[in-house]
Structure 1
Amino acid sequence: MIGIKQGKVVEILDKKKERTKIVVSIDGKKEPAINYNLMTGEVDINDEVVLNTTAVDLSLGTGGYHFVICNINKFSNQLTGEGHIMKLRYTPLQLKVFSEEEQDHPNHDLFNRFKSLNQLPVIVGTLHSMLSPIAATLKYLQPHIKVSYIMTDAAALPIYFSDTVYHLKKKRLIDATVTIGNAFGGDIETVNIYNGLIAAKEIVNSDIIIITMGPGIVGTGTTYGFTGIEQGNILDSVNDLEGFPIAVPRISFQDKRQRHYGISHHSLTVFSKITKTKCNVILPQLSADKRKYVYKQMENLKILEKHNIIEEDGAVLSNALEHFDLSVKTMGRSFSQDPAFFLTCSAAAKYALKFSSKFF
């Protein structure tokens, strides 16, 4: 079941080509909402809209937004443009995209001619909050590097929902976006991670690829019940295509939940149980006691035997964030409040640059 209510648009907060943030009046109460312009059309003040209110009704972490299902005042949208690949398939909001690999696309044959990633560095994270520190470090150290971002479908599906992506593209810290699976709205659309990787290499000509889900990881507190588990399969796909897989573990010494202390159980599960191939797991430089703690975690699960463990100094991140006028947060915590998390991301970026063919 979904929660549905009708409201009236009373204020436009922020309008972009793809997305408009609005305030709606529902039974006399003003509440924030998001309209995806490319799905449900343009929205104006006094328009009557039908809203999906489910997440807010359940007090879930969507930023407190309702989402416009349709605009009663602009009810008819004409189907335009090319493309026959459906995303959000067999739901009331299924939409078509012009996927790079479909038969009518000019790039179709490129995917059949593809041979190898040729050890292209691919940084694979989990949380969307890893994207900014990775991209900022890459561009701070090598401003002319070409960076693509692949957003998976393990969390938010419209890339338009991410303010982070808007900011990073505006500052030219990521050069192109690719959305895969049922995620949509990237500069490039593909049907799965394999073709997403191929597109990032062959179409974007990326020097380095970053992969994370969008905002809104799902976790249940069970061993395998979290959407970040995709990291293991993605690392294997990078190896399948002969890329250079760099894994970003989720590390924190500020999270009050024991299962996320040190190396999160999410990362420990991925590296010990899910990945079937060897990858490069990056650690930041840590104090002696914290270093001992995380190595003990990995030793207990034989991760030290299975993967290459690399320690890298990510301290350059503070300079990068200041240079680009960026602030970062994860789970509501800033860089100063949870340094290990963000330094891990920066360390992975710094390590990746050592293996980019552009800088050999």
Structure 2
Amino acid sequence: MIRWRKGTVEGIRREWPGAVELDVVIGDDGAHRALAYPDLVGRPEPGDTVLLNTTALALGLGTGGYAMVVAVPDRLPPDPAGPGHLVKARYTPLQATVLGADEQDSPHHEVLRDADSLGGMPVVIADLHSALAPILAGLLAARPGARIVYLMPDGGALPSWFSMSIARLKDAGALAATVTAGQAFGGDLEAVTVHTGLLAARLVLDADAVVLAQGPGNLGTGTKWGFSGVSAGEAVNAASVLDGRPVASLRVSEGDKRERHIGVSHHSLTAYGRVALARADVPVPELGGAFGARVAAGAAPLGDRHTLVPVPVDGLHDTLRAAEKDWGVRLSTMGRRLDEDLAYFLTAAAAGRHTAALLG
């Protein structure tokens, strides 16, 4: 299940809040990319011996194809200090305690203890982490200064630190804060469930809107139900039961080589058409041409359960290009850049544009 190796840190490649990317020499295999989370394992330095989990490296995974640093035996981090008894990554060798916004020792416990409503706050829900930046771009272009919080459940990466996009979006001021829910951790606030994560975003972080999408590393099996994005449908239900305004962003592609994802992905049709029991707004981008007609026809069955909202995409290509430049965020989905799968990014940006209209 786990491929264990020892390695020696050759050098530091780059770092961002919560993570350090390294070159690590592993036996006779030469140097490989490795990733360490200093808050969990300590900060490795060149020359250090590190214990590694090389499973993802051996599998050749795209998003997470690193050797993961499990421990720096000669440079252990200090013991945690302060309150916090929420255990995340529970009953794994790297289980960690954090202070949950909703737990009894939290300064926010009184606010959240009986909280039960988002007061109509829009919650934009997407399947993939790569939708986060384009949703923000479409939203903030129409409503600059809006306070947007990202809620990360545990469908993909568990540490929010894995995402360079989060760090850059926060640095650029596009993202106000992050809440990590379930087994996910590393956000500005921690929450036990998506429900308390939404309430914390609204009542503690004063969010105008929330973007809810799994972290990097979508898991799929090529089956109708075996993909981590099923949680997008469950998120619609959570937002609705808390008196929020769910906005279901479609996953659309014209560049994916897999037929099941061309046009409106089967992921969206299953999550929103079968799992989501509450009503949501479903922005349908007006892409034009034959492909635009295919997207509209693919989304049509969702109209039996949800409110389909046609959204113009004029100007959004320029908006996305500007966001990529100004925020320093690389727009990419499944290895495809902005102009290699423009429909994907326009669709996410259209969901942001529609959400901005709800804030008016």
Match of 1:323 in 2: 322
Match of 2:246 in 1: 245
Any stretches of 5+ residues in structure 2 without a counterpart?
none
CA contact (8 A) 2:281 2:307 kept: yes
Distance 1:117 1:76 in 2: 38
CA contact (8 A) 1:321 1:327 kept: no
Distance 2:146 2:211 in 1: 13
Inter-CA distance 8–286: structure 2 relative to 1 (3 Å threshold):
same
Amino acid at match of 2:104: Q
- Aligned ranges for residues 249-328 of structure 1 at < 5 Å? 249-299=250-300, 302-324=301-323, 325=325, 326-328=329-331
Inter-CA distance 319–183: structure 2 relative to 1 (3 Å threshold):
same
Match of 2:344 in 1: 341
1:131 aligns with 2:132: yes
Distance 2:190 2:151 in 1: 10
Distance 1:55 1:48 in 2: 20
Distance 1:76 1:242 in 2: 42
Distance 1:15 1:81 in 2: 26
Secondary structure of 1:5's counterpart equals strand
CA contact (8 A) 2:17 2:161 kept: no
- 1:207-257 C-alpha deviation (Å, 9 max, x unpaired): 111011111100001110000000001001111001110001100122121
How far did residue 320 of structure 1 move?
Answer: 2.6
Match of 2:33 in 1: 32
The CA RMSD measured in Å over matched residues stands at 1.5
Inter-CA distance 76–231: structure 2 relative to 1 (3 Å threshold):
closer
Amino acid at match of 2:355: A
Distance 1:135 1:98 in 2: 28
> TM-score scaled by structure 1?
0.95
Distance 2:195 2:117 in 1: 11
Match of 2:67 in 1: 66
CA contact (8 A) 2:160 2:186 kept: yes
- Aligned ranges for residues 89-104 of structure 1 at < 5 Å? 89-104=90-105
Match of 1:195 in 2: 196
CA contact (8 A) 2:284 2:311 kept: yes
Secondary structure of 2:211's counterpart equals strand
Match of 2:23 in 1: 23
Secondary structure of 2:35's counterpart equals strand
> TM-score scaled by structure 2?
0.95
- 1:273-316 C-alpha deviation (Å, 9 max, x unpaired): 111111111111122422332343344xx422211111112333
Distance 1:147 1:175 in 2: 6
Amino acid at match of 2:178: T
Distance 1:8 1:96 in 2: 28
Match of 2:173 in 1: 172
How far did residue 80 of structure 1 move?
Answer: 1.9
Match of 2:153 in 1: 152
CA contact (8 A) 1:315 1:346 kept: no
1:208 aligns with 2:209: yes
How far did residue 76 of structure 1 move?
Answer: 6.1
CA contact (8 A) 2:116 2:199 kept: no
How far did residue 17 of structure 1 move?
Answer: 4.8
Secondary structure of 1:27's counterpart equals coil
1:354 aligns with 2:357: yes
Any stretches of 5+ residues in structure 1 without a counterpart?
none
1:332 aligns with 2:335: yes
How far did residue 52 of structure 1 move?
Answer: 0.4
CA contact (8 A) 2:88 2:183 kept: yes
1:112 aligns with 2:113: yes
Inter-CA distance 229–17: structure 2 relative to 1 (3 Å threshold):
closer
Identity percentage of aligned residues: 36
Secondary structure of 2:322's counterpart equals helix
